[in-house]
Amino acid sequence: MNIEYIKTDTILETEKISLNYIRLHREDFRKKIIKDKSYWESLWYKSPSKIANSIEEQNKILGDNFVYERNLRYPNIENYYGETFAVPDGLTYKALLYNSGIGAIVNSIRTYMDGYSRKKIQILCSRGYFETFYYISGLPYVYVTELENYDVLIDYDVLIVEPVLYSEKMQSIDYFQIMDKFVSNDTVKKIKMIIIDCTLTTHLHLDIDRLYDFMRVNKEVILVITESLLKLHQLGLEISSAGLTQIIFSEAGKFTQSMKNFLDKCEKNRELYSINLSLNNLRGISHPFMYSNEVLSIYSSAIFNNNGWVAQRLNSEKFEVFHPILDDWNYLWSVSPMIIIKLKPDRKARYIEALKFIENRVSEMKIEFYNGASFGFFESRYEIINYSIERDEWFLKLAIGFNNKDLEKIIDIINNL
């Protein structure tokens, strides 16, 4: 595979992923990659002409050639991401890249419905990221039940779990226990699908070998591991919006051919629903540091450690703190790039008051702590979120970043809310 990357220091080597390197060069590095994203668009039109050398170049770089950008396929790039999971023999796997994590989840569900002529499907979903729950609840012929207390009461078709719930409690769950109950409730032998959204924890914290053991035994299950690539994989630089699914199933099951058809249909539906990557965003996520487990581990571990360290030092009668490290139980995946705080009294006015207090103190102390959304950045952020509009529920979210310079001062500000 021959890809013309940016030259010199803009391709990060693992040993350069250090606090000092990112502090000094991150903005310049990001600008160079953003500028470089248009390189493939300069090579080919969105509907390129069928010139022999153009088709040959597409195949060499992407592993496929395309007529329209909308039906763009890129198996060469996907293979690099797929190899980061080190799937063992006996299991079939394929990585698929989408324009977002939610697009990856929805396409998997739609394809499950299409491929097996299901007029309606029952989905059991852990109530974590609110957009996922509301989005799938709006799909036609889909009946969604919220997972509560590990109860799996009926024979569901699809299970969607987050190892750490992005909710007001920010708790880790024993998703293996839930999966065991999910497959044992199969009263009519059929293909079932399990979707694990590991955006908050990354696939490095999934206990992946245990997952592979589960899949060797449960041969009628399609496993779809999903994560957004926008944050931790990109060092918080937000270069390209993208989502990844790693689809895994047994090669020895009686439905193996149907599962292979599922893979093919996922790719076709990705084109049909226009949720594949554009040339611009595809180029952005093709840099080797983005599919390096070593780089991801270095960057994400620093963020997980910083958030856990801060969470353990927040203490006040005026609020409650939620982070997996504070749970009574501990799993390999009990990590998080953020901290949730529920203020007392728990009402909107109190959160607005807290927001103003933080802004004033940050300005006085001149520290790198910014009001902003999401997580996984070099610097730390905070925001208030209206988690449930219907119930008017709010929380304060702290997303501690890679930089650990001002953590003591951030703790002091929050403890004095």
* Range from 86-95, 126-135, 152-161, 306-315 carrying the lowest mean pLDDT: 126-135
Give the Cα separation of 108 and 193 in Å (integer): 9
Chain segment 31-75, per-residue pLDDT in tens: 888 988 888 888 889 998 887 777 888 888 899 988 889 889 999
Q: Inform me whether the pLDDT recorded for 157 exceeds 80.
A: yes
pLDDT for res 14:
52
Q: Inform me whether the pLDDT recorded for 397 exceeds 60.
A: yes
pLDDT for res 188:
60
Chain segment 258-280, per-residue pLDDT in tens: 999 999 999 999 999 999 999 99
Q: Inform me whether the pLDDT recorded for 253 exceeds 80.
A: yes
Q: Name the percent of the chain lying above pLDDT 70.
A: 93
| Mean of the per-residue pLDDT values of the chain | 89
Task: Quote the pTM value.
Answer: 0.93
pLDDT, greater one: 316 or 148:
316
User: pLDDT band at residue 18, thresholds of 50, 70 and 90?
Assistant: low
User: pLDDT band at residue 11, thresholds of 50, 70 and 90?
Assistant: very low
Q: Inform me whether the pLDDT recorded for 9 exceeds 70.
A: no
What integer is the mean pLDDT of 172-179? 94
Q: Inform me whether the pLDDT recorded for 319 exceeds 80.
A: yes
Chain segment 183-195, per-residue pLDDT in tens: 987 666 788 999 9
Go through the domains of the chain in sequence order and give each one's CATH number.
37-43+74-291 (3.40.640.10), 294-415 (3.90.1150.10)
Do residues 65 and 52 touch, judged by C-beta distance below 8 A? no
Give the Cα separation of 417 and 407 in Å (integer): 16
Q: For helices 348-365 and 407-415, give the axis angle rounded to 10 degrees.
A: 140
Q: In terms of residues, how long is the chain?
A: 417
pLDDT for res 3:
41
